Amino acid sequence: MKESDESSNYKIHSTYAIVILSAIIVGLVSVKWSEVPRLYEYINFALTMSSLILAILAIVYALHSSGTLFKTLDKIEGSAESIKTISSDISESNNELRKEVERIPSAITSVDKKLDDSQQLIRRLSEESFFTPSSGDKEKHDISEGLVKRYIEKSPLLGCDALLVVIIMYKEEVVADLDQLLSKVGNDFSSRYMFAYIISAESMGLISFEHIEMTGRIKLTFVNNALMENVERIHSEKYQALSKSLKESGRQDRYEKVKNRHVEIIEAVKEEKHLC
């Protein structure tokens, strides 16, 4: 369908062109050119004007082509710069990749060394004990001070509360019902948590206590020296940091509850001493 339309248009335009050219030829033949006065001058003038017009068109076309050529050259130059930059980036990437590949053997060696060191450390730890017996009437264990400090620092706030209660009880020689005392410094959940934390500290050999028969009370008989020296300071520092954070974040209600926590626990334990 499309080809037939194009063929039909071609025939129509060809017919127009033939008719127009035929009319021009007939017109030229029918004119008596010899009778036209100054025909030579007209022809000369027409040729001159045609030359001028063609020259102007040639200049305009040359300028246009030159501008297009300059744009094309600029694009080619930009593309060349881009290719140069990309080539440089690829070269740098190759150099970095080569360096990384060269570091792989040394990294593998380092990993192997660290694995060997870890195995040796594990072997040494398995052969040694953190606990070394100390002299005394009762069999107790001294734990390294650094380990005790890390234990306190890593303890949660409720755990630190429990340790502080134990320290103050030992210092003030308080004999008290531990369940009741812990209930005063915490709610039902926190008091049970603190009680469990105290039991775990006893299992580690950090503290020991004895039960007073028929009273339900306990008396601290031993507290690790490192625990004694560091609990109060670390407990105070933890609550100071928490209070500062709560105050800066605008949590005023929570801030009011914890700002005097350290002092409240100490006073609660000392008050228990007077009740006894």
- pLDDT tens-digit map of 200-241: 888 888 888 888 776 678 888 899 998 888 999 998 888 888
Residue 251 banded pLDDT, cuts 50, 70, 90: confident
Indicate the residue type of 222.
F
Taking the C-alpha atoms of 148, 270, 222 and 210 in order, what is their torsion angle to the nearest 10 degrees?
Answer: -130
3-state secondary structure labels for all residues of 182-228: HHHHCCHHHHHHHHHHHHHHHHCCCEEEEEECCCCEEEEEEECHHHH
* pLDDT-wise least confident of 36-45, 66-75, 77-86: 36-45
Interatomic CA distance for residues 72 and 39, integer angstroms: 48
Q: What is the mean pLDDT of residues 168-183?
A: 84
pLDDT of residue 111: 67
Q: How far apart are CA 247 and CA 261, in angstroms?
A: 15
**In this structure, how many other beta carbons lie within 10 angstroms of the beta carbon of residue 88?**
10
Mean pLDDT score of the chain: 78
Average pLDDT over residues 150-174: 87
- Give the mean pLDDT of 27-56: 75
Q: Is 116 exposed, middle or buried (0-12, 13-18, 19+ CB in 10 A)?
A: exposed
The predicted pLDDT at position 136 comes to 43
- Cβ atoms 140, 223 nearer than 8 A: no
Q: Which residues contact 168 (CB under 8 A, 6 or more apart)?
A: 174, 265, 266, 269, 270
CA atoms of 96 and 98, how far apart (whole Å):
5
Per-position DSSP letters for 119-180, written without gaps between them: HHHHHHHHHS-SEEE--SSS--EEEPHHHHHHHHHHS-HHHHHHHHHHHHHHHHT--B-HHH
Please give the C-alpha separations between residue 182 and each of 58, 162, 165, in angstroms, as whole numbers: 106, 8, 8
Check whether 133 has a pLDDT greater than 50.
no
